[in-house]
A and B are shown apart, each in its own frame.
Chain A
Amino acid sequence: MNILVCVKQIPDPAGPQELNNDNTLKREGKLILDESDSYGVEIALQLRDTAGEGEVTLISMSPGEPSGLRTALAMGADKAIHVVDDTLHGADALSTAKVLAAAVQRAGDYTLVIAATESTDGYTGTVPAQLAEILGLPSVTFAKSIRVEGGKVHVDRQTEAGYDVVEADVPAVVTVTAGVVEPRYPSFKGIMAAKKKPLETLAVSDLGLDLSSWGQNIVSVEDAPSRAAGEKIEDDGEAYLKIVEFLEEQKVI
């Protein structure tokens, strides 16, 4: 079973986050594998290993080095496609989806495209659905588990109350919720082997895409409003009553 996994390489969220003059995020330093995507990679590896055949191919669009892709290759993915092109600077979610779709179409036969529900840096949570639309494939979101059987993908889809059992024809685009599996650590051997796995670097022109409009222009960025001061209650021994009252007002209890 061949599986494609969209993985985003992002600036380390632990480091300082800075904007460029055009209000896009600085992506100059070393990019890492978005943790949100490590769950999708793990699920894909498990599906491949259960099937006993096939390949896991990573697809990513980002500037710079494929350092995050190497992490996923070290975990056990078989190969990677990295779209790098200065003209993509400032690309919005739809443009990103178009680029990823074009890369998917080059990747040969596949059963599933897996992505995360939302990325850690942009977190619009819109790319995967757009990708499915462009590819003309079913889109299943918020998966907590995935099984492929009899030409269909069976997904337990997380909801607020529990989960829905959903099935769709394959190929399909499925997004995976963070935390549903324990992503493996890359082994040392996996890390050594990652160096030698196929990694294809493509420009927009290789994908035969029309560059006419990348749409997004970020006009300004404002700080989030600081939180208004809360109410202070002196504890005279009965403060808990005030708290209970407050919680009742909020209809929390």
Chain B
Amino acid sequence: MSSPRTIRFTLNGEPVSATIMPHETLVDVLQHRFDLRGARESCGQGLCGCCTVHVDGKPVSGCLFLAVFADGARVDTVEGLARGDALDPVQEAFIEAGAFQCGFCTPGFVMMVKQLLKEHPEPTDEEVRHYLTGNLCRCSAYPEILDAVKLASARQAEAARRA
């Protein structure tokens, strides 16, 4: 018989635990146990990136990631990006560039861009396209998303110069 398990992990910096069934995915557990609605399931098959969260600093697709895999890990979601009322620079860049219409795909894109800019602080268009290939936007805001990445990258470089 399938029986529940307790997992413990760090969620957006806070230690948490949850009692889950082995077949539950991370995106389901975040949605239903922690009421975090940013990462959401759309295709459920790894095709669209709407469910992207970071596990131990790496973006993964939460719809194909068993919640038990998060046991002992650090999980970061879009809800953990803002500092109080101050949005993350990537979130601000998305708003300023108008990089969404319905916004369904946005949390996934934002989480990918966070990591993209860590790995490639000043990415070429080619690098952005390759890195974001797993994220689909049904409203087709791609040109504005590219603008948002450029804007966030420029702000980040500017902040680094000042620091």
Query: Are both chains from one complex?
Result: no
Chain A residues within CB distance 8 Å of chain B: none
